[in-house]
Structure 1
Amino acid sequence: MSDLELGVVGNCSFAALINREAEVVWACMPRLDGDPVFHSLLGAPPAAEGAGIYCVELEDYVQSEQSYDANTAILQTTLHGRHGALRITDFAPRFWWRDRSFFPPTLVRRLVPISGTPRIRIKLRPRFDYGATTPGITFGSHHIRYVGPNLTLRLTTNAPVDYVREETTFNLNHPIDLILGADETLSEGVSQMAQMFEERTRSYWRHWTHRLAIPFEWQDAVIRAAITLKLCTYEPTGAIVAALTTSIPEAPGSQRNWDYRYCWVRDAYFVVRALNRLAAVRKMENYFSWLMNVVASAKENHVQPVYGVGLEAALPEEIVPQLPGYRGMGPVRIGNQAYEHIQHDGYGNVVLGVAQAFLDRRLISPPTRMDFLQLETMGHKAFAVYDKPDAGMWELRSRACVHTTSAVMCWAALDRLSLIAEHIGEPERSRDWREKAERVKRAVVERAWSERRGSFVESFEGEHLDAGLLLMSEVGFLDADDPRMVSTFAQIERTLAHGPHLFRYEAPDDFGVPQTAFNTCSFWRVDALARMGRKEEARDYFEQLLSCRNRLGMMSEDIMVETGEAWGNYPQTYSMVGIINCAMRLSRFWEKAI
């Protein structure tokens, strides 16, 4: 049975998910939203059972151990059998080379015998077109080519090519290397290349984490979360995907199977904000470039909730019939209908996503006044739509209303434009945006408050509660100790909380009432408790949430409260952001700890 106890390796061009037995169960090529050439996480076509995998099978296998090299994205798996053991090192090359960042869509596997005489079989069975197409195979003395209609992969190895092609079991008497990537000849011998790639990649990650401004407490959790967030970024454009997978259900048999391999302006803002808190500002610069392209290409200033990592606007949603889905729970979807949605919170997320760039003096390429003038178009749009119905941040597909969180994020766009204008010496513009922000704020306070519930509610003149209301303090709309926020928080806890977990909303959506808690909402609750001065409660809940991570320190989107089982796409950037934000909020200061 599949589960989400998966390691992630990648290099900001592609990523692979690897289970505890070192099987590559998911890897999209040549980029994060590409064709899953390995897809056993979602099963295989009925006529191609056992296809879409990349594994090293150990004869008489007994158990395994798995961990990351400290402060890196290099994954080590040790397989133990009755007659021997081997260590498998997996990574994607990433380092600075020839005055540029080097991050090819390449997976390196290094196999080393560590005891006895392990007998292994290598199964390398890529498929194309989401499992529909069997590759053509050609080979030479040290390589195998897997030829698809739109992509060709080349495996270069110092293992016997015949053994790999025929999946023959053989004795692993000495280390072997397997480099899988583009259809190109290596410039050096495979062993030398693999060793050089590993050494330089290890050095890159350790230097990157060395520069992070981490908190005193929960350091390992924060470092792993930061690395995972970086692995969810697509460096060629600066886009940030919500997760690396598609169609992992939010709950068993729920049909809530979505493709998250795209860049939501909402999710990406939270990622950038979390990395900024760790002083990883280069990602903000890359994302600023991507976002300003979004703004420049927006027709009639309309910003979609989600785009492709290459700034693709159309992401038509379709079902892949040949893949049965995670644990057989289809459908498997590619694309996401949300690109067609009207979600007004996007304008706030765009402005919030770039606001720090206008104020931060560390940037190599700071934004200009012309960038600000272009960004103002987002403010004009936010002011025009703040009281208009939309699908909301939870992307409801069958109904629309004036969502409170959307209005609040429109306010945030206006508020931050005022601050930026003041900072760059535009006082008249600053006053204009401030007046608009105050007008929106008055509307939210008057129309989103429910006397009956003693709380802000999900929509203007509405009646239901929504965990997104906790973001009102997060973005500075109201202080956490404001009596209205205190009352709202109490009502949300009473209605949506289950132990340390928090559900998204109480009203049924297109698929009924949610069955699983949404991890990011649980972290919002922890942050709200800390802001309210209830830090001991916050720390207790935070520790409980950290215990819900998998063995390697990562989280998916959702959790089944009754069983503690992970559901939803993986790894979920929202969840990893929550780890960083709460650790930074709750940790003791270094000065007081040492």
Structure 2
Amino acid sequence: MPMKKHTYNFGLIGNCAYLALIGKDTNISWMCWPRFDSSFIFGSLLDRQKGGEFSVRPSETNFSCNQYYIENTNVLCTEIESVHGRYRVTDFAPRFHQHQRNFKPLMLIRKIEPLSGTPHIKVTCNPAGNYGTIKPARVRGSNHIAYLGLEEQVRLTTNVSLTYILDEEPFVLNETKYLVLTFGEPLEAPLITTCEEFQVKTIHYWRNWVKSTSISNYYQSQVIRSALALKIHQYEDTGAIIAASTTSLPEAPHSTRNWDYRFCWMRDSYYILTAFNNIGHFEEMERYFHYIANVSVQAQDRFQPLYGINGASKLIEKELDLEGYLGNKPVRIGNDAYTHIQNDVYGQVLVALLPLYVDRRFIDAGRVESEKLIYHTLHKLEKYLHEPDAGLWEFRNLKQLHCYTFLFHWAGANAAWKIGQYLQDNTLTELAHRLRQEAASRIEECLDPQRGVYTNAIGSKHLDASTMQLIMMGYLDPNSKLARSHLRHLEKELKTPEGLFYRYRHADDFGTPETTFLICSFWYIEALACVGRIDDAMREFEKILQYTNHLGLLSEDVDAKTGSQWGNFPQAYSHVGLVNAAYRISKKIDRPNFL
């Protein structure tokens, strides 16, 4: 019997202060307050009993649903139809400009509208605290319910009968109702007019943001959705961008590869900054640069692969007593990868600093402040250039001299050389030039001349999808015979018939990888475009689009045999990959595509 395709049937909302996943049944299945990395307040995604619930379900068990975004926004609509009638729940996290600032409160607004018939609905609101160990007391107010015992007061303000909510009894929806959940400061303004005003302003904000996005017509709607998803993964207060909004969604069923991705991976800085640059968004780049600079300055001897959204360096990994997504254990918070040695991070920081000197949108003050950091980082690159590390994929029990790490040593030294040229600093350019040559010589030690392919590490025969970056970052001339040979060998060993790509196929700490990694598929598409195989790149891009969920959202991993989505969701870096791949193709073609 063929395995059933697994898809994450959730929509994502957020306002750069928090994120929430909403199921097609209207339940808030995942939401962490007050920060991205806080305990969930609703977490049935990981435990149906301890995770609480916030739903607007029909009284009948049989119903159909349709979920969609209001065009070019992060405002989500879920329409439910049952025997008694049809209604719509509109969910959004308010975000708009107010008093010369971005207004982004810890506030969730749910608007419930009857559309036809006389729908019978039941509103359930039972938040949880401390990852399900705290069940807050419920206190009835005049027009609200206060939930006590959490970090700060959580309040539900509504024009729905409080009795129906507290007793979890169904009622007839014969007029528009509003639910406003707040953390800390409650809603004291008029309910209906405030909700309507906030919805109009939030829609206006997101549509203006999209209008200011520089993208081609090539699969424009898919790029817009990815850009909107990526935007709300930035924690605006510090500028950090998290890998995903969730923790412990397995890379493959019962693989135990269940990780907490609610942190900022420094080693992915280059790809994130490239994505925001490709869509023409400067503000997000600038905020992320400030985060990188703050973390780098505070770092002691080494830079870590990842940090907390507040720059925290200790992200101690713990296992929680939760049932896990579809029974997949363990459930982890924190991530021990912060202890790993990943030496490509120094090159990532230097490449991230380069736009300060080549992009005229940055003013001189930003450049001056970064000069000490450039020297500081380049000396660290020099110190650790020849040291084995855990590599891009964070092997827990294996250290090697990885080709990918040497590539970022090369790219980082090259960026430092360009900065030295700009500053007319001979000391900097000479040091950077020497390190660039050293890194290149180590990359060449990864070349298997008989096969015409670069392996994952010095002395290894294994191939790794990350080495496609040799082409994409300009180390290999994309028009060269070696670049084409290298790509063909990667295709032969790591590509599936469906166009998906494994990171690698050799065993690691947890066995052989079972699922493909979406970002690698987008790298492949970029590499195809680089070497001039444009038709192949366009065909493969179209194939990958089938692996989104019903709203165009991407997971981390895909099972090539079933097309199932796995891994944390939505995966910001998968959306980064889509944005960058579409940009790379669009630069190579001159005909629009409005599909």
Secondary structure at 1:208 match in 2: helix
Give the counterpart letter for 1:311 in structure 2: G
Equivalent in the alignment of 1:521: 520
Runs ≥4 in structure 1, deviation > 4 angstroms? 588-594
Determine if contact 2:553/2:570 at 8 Å carries over to the other structure. yes
Q: Shift of residue 454 of structure 1?
A: 2.9
Secondary structure at 1:326 match in 2: coil
1:569 and 2:573 correspond: no
Give the counterpart letter for 1:12 in structure 2: C
Q: Deviations over 1:463-489 (max 9, x none)?
A: 111101011122222222333322221
1:12 and 2:16 correspond: yes
Where does 1:52-451 land on structure 2 (aligned, <5 Å)? 52-60=52-60, 61-300=62-301, 302-321=302-321, 323-363=322-362, 367-445=366-444, 447-451=445-449
Q: Deviations over 1:132-178 (max 9, x none)?
A: 11112112011111123423311111111111111111111111111
Determine if contact 2:529/2:588 at 8 Å carries over to the other structure. no
Counterpart-to-counterpart distance in 1, 2:269 and 2:124: 36
Determine if contact 2:143/2:158 at 8 Å carries over to the other structure. yes
Determine if contact 1:118/1:171 at 8 Å carries over to the other structure. yes
Give the counterpart letter for 1:460 in structure 2: I
Equivalent in the alignment of 1:464: 462
Counterpart-to-counterpart distance in 2, 1:514 and 1:185: 47
Equivalent in the alignment of 2:510: 511
Give the counterpart letter for 1:462 in structure 2: S
Q: Shift of residue 593 of structure 1?
A: 4.4
Q: Shift of residue 109 of structure 1?
A: 0.4
Q: Shift of residue 443 of structure 1?
A: 2.4
Secondary structure at 1:199 match in 2: helix
Determine if contact 2:218/2:592 at 8 Å carries over to the other structure. no
Secondary structure at 2:80 match in 1: strand
Counterpart-to-counterpart distance in 2, 1:267 and 1:145: 41
Determine if contact 2:344/2:405 at 8 Å carries over to the other structure. yes
Counterpart-to-counterpart distance in 1, 2:352 and 2:343: 15
Counterpart-to-counterpart distance in 2, 1:356 and 1:466: 29
- Greater shift after overlay, 182-191 or 29-38? 182-191
Secondary structure at 2:393 match in 1: coil
Q: Shift of residue 382 of structure 1?
A: 1.1
Equivalent in the alignment of 1:549: 548
Q: Deviations over 1:485-522 (max 9, x none)?
A: 22221111111110210000121000111000000001
Q: Deviations over 1:381-434 (max 9, x none)?
A: 112212211100000001111111011111111110111221233344223312
Give the counterpart letter for 2:472 in structure 1: E
Secondary structure at 1:578 match in 2: helix
Determine if contact 1:263/1:309 at 8 Å carries over to the other structure. yes
Give the counterpart letter for 1:148 in structure 2: G
Counterpart-to-counterpart distance in 2, 1:354 and 1:282: 15
Equivalent in the alignment of 2:495: 497
Equivalent in the alignment of 1:476: 474
Equivalent in the alignment of 2:47: 43
Q: Shift of residue 127 of structure 1?
A: 0.8
Determine if contact 2:418/2:429 at 8 Å carries over to the other structure. yes
Counterpart-to-counterpart distance in 1, 2:413 and 2:469: 16
Counterpart-to-counterpart distance in 1, 2:451 and 2:249: 35
Q: Deviations over 1:81-117 (max 9, x none)?
A: 1111111100000111112111112111000101111
Q: Deviations over 1:22-69 (max 9, x none)?
A: 211100111111111111111235xx5xx5111111123421111101
Counterpart-to-counterpart distance in 1, 2:265 and 2:152: 27
Give the counterpart letter for 2:52 in structure 1: G
Equivalent in the alignment of 2:483: 485
Determine if contact 1:285/1:357 at 8 Å carries over to the other structure. no
Determine if contact 1:242/1:268 at 8 Å carries over to the other structure. no
Q: Deviations over 1:297-328 (max 9, x none)?
A: 0102x10000000111100001001x111101
Counterpart-to-counterpart distance in 2, 1:114 and 1:366: 55
Determine if contact 1:392/1:400 at 8 Å carries over to the other structure. yes
Secondary structure at 2:539 match in 1: helix
**TM-score normalised according to structure 1 size:** 0.96
Q: Deviations over 1:195-252 (max 9, x none)?
A: 1111111111000000000111101000000000011110000000000000000001
Q: Note closer, same or farther for the CA distance 1:253–1:452 as it changes in structure 2 (3 Å cut).
A: farther
Counterpart-to-counterpart distance in 2, 1:3 and 1:364: 45
Give the counterpart letter for 2:349 in structure 1: V
- Greater shift after overlay, 185-194 or 200-209? 185-194
Give the counterpart letter for 1:554 in structure 2: L
Counterpart-to-counterpart distance in 1, 2:511 and 2:450: 24
Equivalent in the alignment of 2:37: 33
Determine if contact 1:241/1:268 at 8 Å carries over to the other structure. no
Determine if contact 2:404/2:467 at 8 Å carries over to the other structure. yes
Counterpart-to-counterpart distance in 2, 1:364 and 1:99: 21
Secondary structure at 1:328 match in 2: coil
Which of the residues 22, 27, 35 maps onto 2:26? 22
Give the counterpart letter for 1:381 in structure 2: K
Determine if contact 1:93/1:106 at 8 Å carries over to the other structure. yes
Determine if contact 2:14/2:74 at 8 Å carries over to the other structure. yes
Secondary structure at 1:367 match in 2: helix
Q: Note closer, same or farther for the CA distance 1:96–1:364 as it changes in structure 2 (3 Å cut).
A: farther
Q: Note closer, same or farther for the CA distance 1:590–1:186 as it changes in structure 2 (3 Å cut).
A: farther
Secondary structure at 2:337 match in 1: helix
Counterpart-to-counterpart distance in 2, 1:392 and 1:475: 18
- Greater shift after overlay, 354-363 or 569-578? 354-363
Determine if contact 1:81/1:118 at 8 Å carries over to the other structure. yes
Structure 2, unmatched stretches of 5+, are: none
Secondary structure at 2:205 match in 1: helix
Give the counterpart letter for 2:385 in structure 1: Y
Secondary structure at 1:201 match in 2: helix
Counterpart-to-counterpart distance in 1, 2:84 and 2:254: 41
Determine if contact 1:284/1:357 at 8 Å carries over to the other structure. no
